Structure 1
Amino acid sequence: MNVHLQPVIRLPRTSVAKGACAAGDRLLPEETPIALTYDGSTHAVMMASPADLEDFALGFSLSEGIVAGPDDLLSTEIVQHELGFEIRMWLSETCRGAYRTRRRAMAGPVGCGLCGLESLEEAVRPAPRVSGTLQLTPSAVATAMADLSEAQRLNREVRAIHAAGLWRPRQGLVAIREDVGRHNALDKLAGALARAHETCRSSMVLLTSRVSVEMVQKAARMSAPILAAISVPTALAVRVAESSGITLVAVARGESFEVFTHPERVQGL
């Protein structure tokens, strides 16, 4: 299998409509295995779009709590293989010991029952508490979602790619990242913002996907006071957003949306 460097690729196909066949081609999103390694050990393999991999490396590391900031990654090397990409990261001394302890806990003794419990705790780990006095009008929420849609360059080509963006009053859309995976798009956004030393404290994170609990956890780690998405949240995502202090806006389409938690940040509610 050959790896393509572009996030979209044109492939041949035969279309069938009303009994007629026609040869042609279509732009499709590329999907590539990405192995993330720390200090020589593989931590995870993710399927992602082969773009903005430096942002992905840092954003994933931040959202997983492996590093506290960009300086904790001493070096990052992206290596292309026949089957995918490997992102080799080396941790600062401050993070190295904690990461080794974490890996030992994850690998724990087999059959004792602890491994499953630790995995469950990791999946629903508490999100950081978010504060902030940002308030937005309903029209600002609608404008932000429209701005995100307009900025989705890759998705306009293939209609199959998620996006995550950061929107700020008086500045508009500060940054956007796209990926075939909704989690990856948000990790890439987090990495891009951290590399640019941008803060999320007076901003709104935007998603083109449903809101699962992981998306709320990632937004909380970014210290974003408002999270808005085009689709619905899960019940667990709502509970975590409530406990972490995040205003969760969902089903944001056109001029309408629904607010599930901390409505005081949306004016008029």
Structure 2
Amino acid sequence: MDSLSYEVKQYGPNGFTPTPIRSIREVPLTIMLNGREVVTLLCTGKHPEYLAVGFLKSDAFVSDPDQITDLTVREQEDRLVAEVETCNDPWKNRVMERSITSGCGKGTNFGRNVTTISRRRLSGDVRVTPEQVLSLARELHERSTLYTATRGCHNSSLCTPTEMLFFREDIGRHNAIDMICGQCFLEDVSVDDKMIVSTGRVASEILLKVVRIGVPVMISTAVATSFSVELARKTGVTLIGNVKHDSFWVYNDPGRIQD
């Protein structure tokens, strides 16, 4: 269940009229790591195991799937709880400085992310044409049935230039990206020849997630912030934004876009 039905009053030219709507589900997901609470995310509750692990991977709590010894998701009265156990000490030498992200919710960004990741250089070998970029953006829109019903979610997909592999949707663009990250991490999916296509604004914390998982191409129907553009140019990510029905912006490309 990813949406609920309500009857509201809609105001229009004829005054107020009763109107049935669909509202996207919002549920807290608390992530526990080795018995210690990490964060509570607000999400639809879909694919909580991928979301929890993706968040931990994105924020450098885990670096290898073999470190995870147990993963359990429990449903409580008012929330979901993901309990993750690891064989390593994820808290050792951890700098817990946080900054409020642009996610308008429970997004967090640990201080060492920018410093560490900006030194990384992605060299994934994938080539994409402008026509393929536009086609994937159209398919993302066509698959967005939850958005069509509720107007309340973001969508992301892991793709090859010709195929959409994983499609994820959630109330936050961070969550949709983290679910893809978590699935790739747990299922050992190779990503150096893949792309992420998304509906959300590409702020720095989104680009950091893409870099950490190792996806070399980020495409969004929305725009990118200045910080994310600078990070893309430092790390070698092909960053495409503002994708419309027949146009898009290329913020950075080290040679992956074919004419």
Question: Normalising by structure 1, what TM-score?
Answer: 0.86
How far apart are residue 76 of structure 1 and its match?
A: 1.2
- Superposition deviation, residue 159 in structure 1: 2.0
Range moving further from structure 2, 73-82 or 121-130 = 121-130
1:90-146 deviation digits (Å, cap 9, x = unpaired): 112xx32x42431xx428xxxxxxxxxxx8833633323211231211101111111
> Quick one: distance in 1 between partners of 2:23 and 2:44?
11
Give the Cα separation in 1 of the matches to 2:33 and 2:192: 29
Q: Distance in 1 between matches of 2:42 and 2:58?
A: 17
Per-residue CA deviation, residues 195-241 of structure 1 (Å, 9 max, x unaligned), is 33221111111110110001111111121111000111110000111
Counterpart of 1:262 (choices 246, 250, 253) is 253
Distance in structure 2 (CA, Å) of the matches to 1:153 and 1:67: 33
Partner deviation per Cα, 1:143-163 (whole Å, 9 max, x = no partner): 111121122232222122101
Partner residue, 1:31: 26
Partner residue in 2 for 1:151: 143
Q: Does 1:240 align with 2:231?
A: yes
Q: Note if contact 2:73-2:83 (Cα within 8 Å) is conserved in structure 1.
A: yes
Alignment pair present for 1:52 and 2:47 = yes
Give the 3 Å change call, closer, same or farther, for CA 155–69 of structure 1 in structure 2. Answer: farther
Any gaps of 5 or more consecutive residues in structure 1?
1-5, 108-118
Equivalent in the alignment of 1:201? 192
CA distance in 2, matches of 1:106, 1:193: 26
Report the alpha carbon displacement of residue 32 of structure 1 after superposing the two structures with TM: 1.3
Q: 1:217-232 to 2 correspondence within 5 Å?
A: 217-232=208-223
CA distance in 2, matches of 1:32, 1:236: 30
Q: Which amino acid aligns with 1:256?
A: S
Identity %: 24
Contact 1:58 1:70 in 2 (8 A): no
In the TM superposition, residue 43 of structure 1 has moved relative to its aligned partner by 0.7
- 1:178 equivalent to 2:173? Answer no
1:215 to 206, 213, 222: 206
Cα distance between partner residues in 1 of 2:78 and 2:47? 18
Cα root mean square deviation, aligned: 1.8
Question: What stretches of structure 2 of length at least 5 have no aligned partner?
Answer: 98-108
Normalised to the residue count of structure 2, the TM-score between the two structures is: 0.89
State the structure with more CA Rg: 1
> Aligned partner of 1:141: which letter?
V
Matched, 1:41 2:31: no
Structure 1 contact 175–193 (Cα < 8 Å) conserved: no
Q: Distance in 2 between the 1:167 and 1:247 partners?
A: 14
**Cα-to-partner distance string for 1:37-93 (whole Å, 9 max, x where unaligned):** 10111011111111110110111111111111332221111122222111111112x
How far apart are the structure 2 equivalents of 1:8 and 1:240? 36
| Residue 79 (structure 1) aligned with residue 74 (structure 2) | yes
Distance, in Å, in 2 between the alignment partners of 1:64 and 1:120 is 7
Query: What secondary structure does 1:260 align onto?
Result: strand
Asked if 1:124 corresponds to 2:127, the answer is no
Separation in structure 2 between the aligned mates of residue 179 and residue 120 of structure 1, nearest angstrom: 22
1:20 Cα deviation (Å)? 2.5
* Mapped partners of 2:181, 2:30: distance in 1: 19
Deviation at 1:187, TM superposition (A): 0.1
Q: Is the 8 A contact 2:123 2:236 kept in 1?
A: yes
Which residue does 2:153 correspond to in 1? 161
Structure 1 counterpart of 2:96, from 102, 106, 109: 106
SS state of the match for residue 56, structure 1? helix
Letter in 1 for 2:240: V
Letter aligned with residue 150 of structure 1: E
CA distance in 2, matches of 1:33, 1:136: 37
Aligned residues: 246
